């Protein structure tokens, strides 16, 4: 296996474990102490491609654009949203004011969690964004996608790809939208990711939800992802 391919496989392993860790820790505050992640990533290959932040974020997770390089403070925060900023990565992202944010959750830049439906709600749907420098390794987004699917198949029970779509970002880079289902413990999940490689960085955004509730926050997840900017 070529060195670049091995690097991508290592990164996809971390990505798969991150997805599982984030889903395991998506529970409400009362359940958080008992919900332990299936695995702990040592390095993260995630972050989220998205459209430039605007006053009205678009509606669904897509590979239509990459993280914007515009100044975050130049855009207004829409009503009902807050702005999260991470000075280390230069990230600015908008999220609903009734959602919670966990910075640096399992190697991600941040994880944004939906409000629990009630006291019996043991899982909070979430959006995570992350970005990993590839350290000069040369690889294509196609290699990254295949390595990711290979590893996810080994760490998610009943893993099944339900959607895979190639798109070209506004900046010209190739990206993939990958949706898949699987089980973890008593939960059946659906994940949707947008992944790409830009300027030597592997970038992925992940929306994680219980499969039968996937549509509930789908549009909001898209708004969060599409608001992401990197200064």
Q: Confirm whether 200 is domain-assigned.
A: yes
Q: How far apart (Å, rounded) are the C-alpha atoms in residues 30 and 123?
A: 10
In what helix (H) or strand (E) does residue 91 lie, and over which residues does it extend? Answer: strand 91-96
Domain range enclosing 142: 3-31+45-230
Per-residue pLDDT tens over the stretch 8-21: 545 554 554 555 54
Instruction: Give the burial string for 176-199 (b: 16+ CB within 10 Å, else e).
Output: bbbbbbbebeebebbbbbbbbbbe
CATH code of 22's domain: 3.40.1000.10
Q: How far apart (Å, rounded) are the C-alpha atoms in residues 179 and 168?
A: 17
In what helix (H) or strand (E) does residue 159 lie, and over which residues does it extend? Answer: strand 157-168
Per-residue pLDDT tens over the stretch 152-167: 888 889 999 999 999 9
Q: Confirm whether 37 is domain-assigned.
A: no
- pLDDT score of 54: 36
Q: Confirm whether 190 is domain-assigned.
A: yes
- pLDDT score of 213: 92
Q: Confirm whether 36 is domain-assigned.
A: no
Q: Count the helices and strands in the chain (H runs, E runs).
A: 4, 10
- pLDDT score of 99: 97
Low-confidence spans in the chain with pLDDT less than 70: 1-75, 231
Q: How far apart (Å, rounded) are the C-alpha atoms in residues 202 and 49?
A: 10
Is residue 119 left, alpha or beta, with left meaning phi > 0 and alpha meaning psi from -120 to 50? alpha
Q: Confirm whether 39 is domain-assigned.
A: no
- pLDDT score of 26: 53
DSSP 107: G
Q: How many domains, the chain?
A: 1
β-partners of residue 191 are 180, 208
**What are phi and psi for residue 81, nearest 5 degrees?**
-120, 160
Q: Confirm whether 40 is domain-assigned.
A: no
Q: Confirm whether 16 is domain-assigned.
A: yes
- pLDDT score of 42: 28
Q: Confirm whether 170 is domain-assigned.
A: yes
Pairing of strands 110-113, 100-103: antiparallel
Tokens 């629990």 found at:
116
**Count of Cβ atoms closer than 10 Å to residue 165 Cβ:** 12
- pLDDT score of 49: 35
- pLDDT score of 162: 97
């Amino acid at each position: 296996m070529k060195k670049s391919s091995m690097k991508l496989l290592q990164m996809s392993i971390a990505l798969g474990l991150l997805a599982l860790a984030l889903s395991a820790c998506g529970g409400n505050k009362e359940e958080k102490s008992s919900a332990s992640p299936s695995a702990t990533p040592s390095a993260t290959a995630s972050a989220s491609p998205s459209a430039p932040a605007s006053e009205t974020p678009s509606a669904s997770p897509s590979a239509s654009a990459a993280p914007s390089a515009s100044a975050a403070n130049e855009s207004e925060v829409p009503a009902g949203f807050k702005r999260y900023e991470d000075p280390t990565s230069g990230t600015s992202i908008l999220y609903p004011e009734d959602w919670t944010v966990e910075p640096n959750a399992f190697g991600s830049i941040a994880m944004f969690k939906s409000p629990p439906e009630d006291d019996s709600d043991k899982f909070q749907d979430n959006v995570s964004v992350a970005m990993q420098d590839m350290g000069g390794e040369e690889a294509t987004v196609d290699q990254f996608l295949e390595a990711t699917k290979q590893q996810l198949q080994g760490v998610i029970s009943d893993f099944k790809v339900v959607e895979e779509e190639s798109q070209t970002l506004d900046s010209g880079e190739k990206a993939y939208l990958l949706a898949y289902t699987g089980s973890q413990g008593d939960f059946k999940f659906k994940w949707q990711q947008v992944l790409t490689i830009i300027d030597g960085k592997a970038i992925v955004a992940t929306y994680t939800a219980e499969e039968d509730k996937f549509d509930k926050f789908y549009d909001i997840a898209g708004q969060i992802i599409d608001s992401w900017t990197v200064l």
